[in-house]
Amino acid sequence: MSTVFIPSVLRPNVGGAKSLDIQGGSIRAVVDGLIEQHPNLKGQLLTDDGDLNRFVNVYVNGQDVRYLAGLDTPVASADEVRLLPAMAGGAGV
Amino acid sequence: MPKSYADLLREAREQIREVTVQDVADLPPGSAAIVDVREASEWEQGHVPGASHVSKSYIEQQIEGIAPDRDQPVVLYCAGGVRSLFAAQTLTDMGYTDVVSVKGGFQAWKGAGFEFDTPVVLSADQKQRYSRHLLIPEVGSEGQARLLGSKALLIGAGGLGSPAALYLAAAGVGTIGLVDFDVVDVSNLQRQIIHTTDRVGERKVESAKIAINALNPEIKVVAHEEMLVAANVERIIAGYDVILDGTDTFETRYILNDAAVAAGIPVIHASVFRFEGQLTTFVPYEGPCYRCLYPTPPPPELAPGCSVAGVLGVVPGILGLLQTNEALKVLLGIGTTLAGRLLLFDALETEFTELQLRRDPHCPVCSDEAVAARAEGRPLATANVGEDAPFLLTTTGLSGNVSPGARA
């Protein structure tokens, strides 16, 4: 079971949970597991072609999976997976 | 048995090896710690380039800050070569194994025609105001002079920019540029502490200027009362040493990123959302840029601004101060910045998390290919940017040049 940290903006899609424990040996399996539990995450995480959306970064133990093996990046149990979209706010207005 | 000065000097000469000014000039840079042991007033008249200053009366207390390794070569000099001999004896007593004294001291150095640096001398008022900085070896009067001569640009005089502007001013960063076209609204005051209730309705750059100069009258405030856009970004950021990004739109952020990479100016980035913040330092070509981190902006529903989503007032305060800390390090050239690291802050948990960032080898703005293209005046490759990037056409860095028509 790896722990997936959900950013604030996506929490309404997962019932407010800050993190979820998801089974899966790769990022693809973890993302599929997430979407299976919370189908409305699909459009946020994946493109129509099934690739990771470029505006959401995915990190495994602090490393960006884009520079590992993308969706094929292996995930071991006890690994920390973090979803991270860009934030807008500069608290300017 | 009592000893005369002559006895002490003879003993010191027997114990300490002396070198010539030519030997010092021939030292490979960084191969030895060169320490000037004269008084501050003498140091201010000029010193050997690259030397550190510790007056002889503080040598025991301060040498470890300059030469922590007892086996590191240490070269001491004074005005004529006597005080440095005695100081070298002290260091030898402290266990330093490779200490030499410069024969003839600084007089011989100047006499031989070698170049010397004349440090910036702080005024009595400045010495008092910045005394806590001057006490820190990593800052000192040289660092303080550097801050006084530095220029920092704040994009936004809002939640992040408020604490940043105040602390940069307090620290003596000589020129602070503010880019903001907004006016102070009463709803800003929950977090934008540079503004005040009686200045509601005033232009933010003017309100911020009042606060900055009330804190430190010697700071030059440059007000850029305009929206940062592709047509003016190059002009606005020109000449600044560091930029603090406190914008709240992605368009501005990409425009700023692309222009700052092209101009080689570090950008300290922070953004906030409710109880959370993100922070990193983009140092062009040393670490990733904003496009490496986020190649495309998220759809609006995934990244609402503070005016929609709200923010706990202290979150931009904390992030703005962390930005300022990064900026001061960049300006002073000390410490390790967040280049290549993204710091996440969660105020509810009081938790910091660090993620590793990398330069995207295919980045349209900062990749080696982009650098080469910019140098050769070729258009940058945009194939990798993706058609979903809405700010493609507004980016200075992508074309390497702003088209003449776009110049403000």
> Phi, psi (5° rounding) for residue A30?
-70, -45
Asked if residue B306 has pLDDT above 70, the reply is no
Asked if residue B404 has pLDDT above 60, the reply is no
Question: How many degrees, rounded to 5, is the angle at CA B49 between CA B43 and CA B52?
Answer: 55
Asked if residue A8 has pLDDT above 90, the reply is no
Q: Which tokens is B317 given?
A: 């305060």
Q: How far is CA B125 from each of CA B98, B131, B217, B218, B223, rounded to the nearest angstrom?
A: 40, 10, 12, 11, 26
- Mean pLDDT of the B127-134 span: 97
Q: CA-to-CA distance for B202 and B198, rounded, in angstroms?
A: 9
pLDDT at B118: 86
pLDDT at B384: 59
Highest mean pLDDT among A67-71, B163-167, B252-256, B378-382: B163-167
Contact B298 A56 (CB under 8 A): yes
Residues of A in contact with B292 (CB under 8 A): none
- Mean pLDDT of the B274-299 span: 92
- In tens, the pLDDT along B31-69 reads 999 999 999 899 988 999 999 999 999 999 999 989 999
Asked if residue B385 has pLDDT above 70, the reply is no
Closest CA to B311 of A9, A12, A6, A17: A9
pLDDT at B374: 81
pLDDT at B386: 54
Give the nearest partner residue to B305 out of A10, A63, A89, using CB atoms.
A89
Q: CA-to-CA distance for B291 and B397, rounded, in angstroms?
A: 11
Residue type present at position A43: G
Q: What percent of chain A has pLDDT over 90?
A: 71
Strands of the B17-19 sheet, one edge to the other: B17-19, B99-102, B74-77, B33-36, B52-53
Give the nearest partner residue to B307 out of A64, A67, A93, using CB atoms.
A93
Parallel, antiparallel or unpaired: strands B151-155 and B99-102: unpaired
pLDDT band at B213 (very low <50, low <70, confident <90, very high): very high
Is A65 or A85 the better-scoring residue by pLDDT? A65
Beta bridge partners, B166, equal: none
Asked if residue B283 has pLDDT above 90, the reply is yes
* Contact indicator for A62, B356 with CB cutoff of 8 Å: yes
pLDDT at B381: 67
pLDDT band at A92 (very low <50, low <70, confident <90, very high): low
Q: Is A3 on the interface with B (CB under 8 A)?
A: no
Q: Taking all residues of chain B, what is their mean pLDDT, rounded to a whole number?
A: 90
Contact A90 B297 (CB under 8 A): no
Phi-psi region of B262 (alpha: psi -120 to 50; beta: other; left: phi over 0): alpha
pLDDT at B244: 98
Residues of B in contact with A8 (CB under 8 A): 273-276
- Mean pLDDT of the B114-119 span: 90
- Mean pLDDT of the B358-375 span: 88
Residue of A nearest to B180 (CA): A92
pLDDT at B403: 31
Q: Which residues does B115 contact at the CB level (< 8 Å), separation at least 6?
A: B49
pLDDT band at B399 (very low <50, low <70, confident <90, very high): very low
- Mean pLDDT of the A31-57 span: 91
Mark out the alpha helices in B149-281 (DSSP H runs). 161-171, 204-215, 233-237, 250-263
Computed from CA positions of residues A89, B356, B163, B171, in that sequence, does the dihedral angle turn out positive or negative? negative
Is B385 or B190 the better-scoring residue by pLDDT? B190
Closest CA to B305 of B253, B268, B343, B366: B253
Q: How far is CA A72 from each of CA A30, A34, A75, B30, B215, rounded to the nearest angstrom?
A: 10, 16, 9, 47, 54
Parallel, antiparallel or unpaired: strands A80-85 and A2-5: parallel
pLDDT at B120: 75
DSSP state for residue A1 in the 8-state scheme: -
pLDDT at B15: 95
- Mean pLDDT of the B131-157 span: 95
Is B11 or B305 the better-scoring residue by pLDDT? B11
Q: Which residues does B342 contact at the CB level (< 8 Å), separation at least 6?
A: A84, B278, B279, B280, B293, B354, B355, B356, B357
Residue of B nearest to A55 (CA): B298
pLDDT band at B383 (very low <50, low <70, confident <90, very high): low
Distance from CA of B357 to the nearest CA of A (A): 7
- Mean pLDDT of the B143-167 span: 97
- In tens, the pLDDT along B167-180 reads 999 999 999 999 99
pLDDT band at A2 (very low <50, low <70, confident <90, very high): very high
The alpha-carbon radius of gyration of chain A (Å, integer) is 13
Asked if residue B307 has pLDDT above 80, the reply is no
Indicate which residues of B carry an active-site annotation.
306
ipTM reported for the complex surpasses 0.90 = yes
pLDDT at B126: 97
Q: How many CA atoms does the CB half-sphere of B326 hold within 13 Å?
A: 27
